[in-house]
Chain A
């Protein structure tokens, strides 16, 4: 099955710093989502981005499907950005998502 690798596994940032999280996947995909898991466990959907670039406030994401990677950018980080960021993909219409192991982000004041 499809494999998903995320890097880095852990990241510590000073408040106000920028960061880039990476997701590599092993096969073509037609669904890619970035999630933020808060301390209570809820997975918050950040982007549905099987290809192209999207922006939402301080967050943006780019997926280069032909090269099988996606990037999540966080600018001017805040302590509330702390948590685990997951990339998840699927490679056909209604197949379930395969998750990476996540990037644990800690933003310190």
Chain B
């Protein structure tokens, strides 16, 4: 079945460091891929998405590229800020389905 695997957290970085959060997936078809973010005390928000291979999603300085050959959708940011501290979820959705399949989430802690 479909699944999403994320790197375990927490990930702790200093401000202005480079961020990578790994995400790999298994799917039977050609899913859309998503990164959601959950800031403390808030609901899940869509951060970025990509709907086909080689697409790059980007938002708020974050980027992720849909890599079909490695079944990956790693999240990157060149210079993180304290305000980026949150839990990040990778998710997929098959074309023929409406369910989002989620990774376990990665907690990111940015220290000043």
A and B associate: no
Binding site for B on A (CB under 8 A): none
Binding site for A on B (CB under 8 A): none
